[in-house]
Every structure is written in C-alpha cells, then in structure tokens.
Amino acid sequence: MGKNVIRRKSLDARSAADADRDGGVQSVDRALSILETLAEDDEGYRLSDLAVRTGLSASTVHRLLATLESRRFVQFDRAESKWHVGVRSFTVGASFARRRNFTAQAIPYLRKLRDLTRETANLAVVDDEFIIVLTRMESREIMRSLTKVGGRVPMVTSGVGKAVLATYSDEDVGAVIRHHGMPRLTEKSIVRPSDLFKELATIRKQGFAVDDEEAEMGLRCVAAVVYNALVEPLAAISVSGLTSRITDQRLPEVGRMVREVAAELTAALGGMTPAVKPA
C-alpha cells in the first residue's frame, strides 16, 4: 500500500506540473492574441470589445491586460476607456526590423561616406544608454580604431553618443550623466555637465557632433543622427580619423558630408530629418 501511496503522489505531482505548464502556455497565447488584436486598430479597443474579438471572458482579458500594462506592452487611455499597444511592443518590433535589414541598407551609405571623406565610416545605435558599433567601412588610410564592432562606449565619451544626446531633453541627458558619470579619458574630455549642455546646443544648431580628442588623443570623430519616421534617433553614422587628416580647417566640410549622408540614409529608411536651426 505504501508503494501505491507513493506512486499516486508522484502522479499527482507530475499532473500538477503539467497543468501549470499548460496553463502558462495558454496565458502566453492569450496575451499574444490580445496584442495582435490591439495592433489591428490604432483607435484602440474597450475591454468588452476585446473580449468579443478574442473570444475570452472579460475577467480573463482584464487580468492579462493588467500584466501587459505593468510591462508597458499595452497602455490604457482613461479619457476614452480604451486600450492601445504600448511602447514596449514598439521597441520589440523595432529591434526585429533592425536585425533584419537595417545594417544591410546602411552599407552603401557608409561606403559613400568613407569614399567622400577618405576616413573610416561607422554605424552605431544606442542600447541601455551605451553606444554600440554595429558595423564600419575601414578607411584606406592608416587608422587606429578605438572601438571594435560590437563594442560598447558611454554616450558622453563619443561623437555618436553626443549626436544622439543632442536629441534628448535636458532631463534625459541629466539622467544619463547620473547613471554613468562623465569619465575623463583624455585631457580634452568633457567632464562638467554645464560644458556638455553647451556642446549639445551647438550640435543641435549645426546638425553634427564632434569628438575632438575626447576619447583618445590624436583621434577625431564626426557624427550625425539617423532618424525614424517619428523624427526620433534610430541610429547614427560617423567618420573617425587622425587629427592630422581631420584638421580644424577641414572639420566643417567633413561635418557637412556626414550630416548630408545621414539625411540620405534617414530618407532611405523611411525616416524624417528635423530642420537644422540656423546658427
């Protein structure tokens, strides 16, 4: 009898585990069904309409919506009592688009930028307040690459990072500074917030950013933002080279070329470049 009791307990435990697993899979399937339904109409859905469309009870839909809302995959418009797709759904979908074809589409523009400037051209994105280099077209000139493809650098220490920061509000820039500080990498590094804010104001006016030996002495980087359809920073492109080649006299011309190629890539990706404010 003892064996029978042990065996029954074992079966009961396994059945409970199977039930939990099946229930978890069912919840995921139902939550995805809700997201797919919300994506069908930009006007959003009321709870009762979602229940009808998905074939689920109102209580089940509400429970799943609460979980999705806590993770920002959906959001609730209290004025209209409607549910909409949330920002996290957009970022997940955007990452798929980047992985699928973003880099491939950028290659011809990086090649053009390299040939125009005769310097190494880079493509980078922001990930968790760090800059990640996705790919580059190496210059035919002698060049030391400071950051490897796939490498991560703080936003405040790079031309690409400053170009993107110039699109942020002062509050968001302040948050980046609080999270990561302003490390002094060279004697020319910007280490005071007030100096950085002045630099960002200049970047907004001219449409490109310059890392003037702030990450490594002897190297300059000139960068501009690539925008999405919402006029938000999607990525950035840059050229990097020795200060002996990217001289003070040549800097405005290089900046113009980087800015113009970034605008061309923005248009090719279906984005929109904001107008540069006159100095």
Residue 32, SS3 per DSSP:
helix
Look up the pTM and report it: 0.63
Q: Which residue has the higher pLDDT, 42 or 204?
A: 204
Distance separating alpha carbons of residues 109 and 266, to the nearest angstrom: 10
Residue % of the chain over a pLDDT of 90: 54
Give 104-158 pLDDT, tens digit per residue.
Answer: 889 999 999 999 999 999 999 888 788 888 888 888 776 555 666 666 788 888 8
Q: Which of 129, 148, 130 is nearest to 138 (CA)?
A: 148
Distance separating alpha carbons of residues 10 and 4, to the nearest angstrom: 10
pLDDT, position 142: 62
Give 218-233 pLDDT, tens digit per residue.
Answer: 999 999 999 998 899 9
Cβ burial 203-231 (10 Å sphere, 16+ → b, else e): beebbbbbbbbbbbeebbbbbbbbbbeee
Q: How many CB atoms lie within 10 A of CB 241?
A: 23
Q: Which of 150, 124, 98 is nearest to 209 (CA)?
A: 124
Instruction: Name the amino acid, one letter, at 187.
Output: E
- Point out which residues pair with 198 in neighbouring strands: none
Distance separating alpha carbons of residues 101 and 124, to the nearest angstrom: 14
| Helix H or strand E encompassing 236 | strand 233-242
Distance separating alpha carbons of residues 43 and 30, to the nearest angstrom: 21
pLDDT reading at 242 higher than 60:
yes
Q: Is the Cβ–Cβ distance between 136 and 122 less than 8 Å?
A: yes
pLDDT, position 96: 55
Q: Is the Cβ–Cβ distance between 51 and 58 less than 8 Å?
A: yes
Give 3-61 pLDDT, tens digit per residue.
Answer: 333 333 443 444 544 545 556 788 899 999 999 899 888 789 999 999 999 999 999 99
Q: Quick one: average pLDDT of 171-200?
A: 92
Residue 128, SS3 per DSSP:
coil
pLDDT, position 154: 81
Residue 239, SS3 per DSSP:
strand
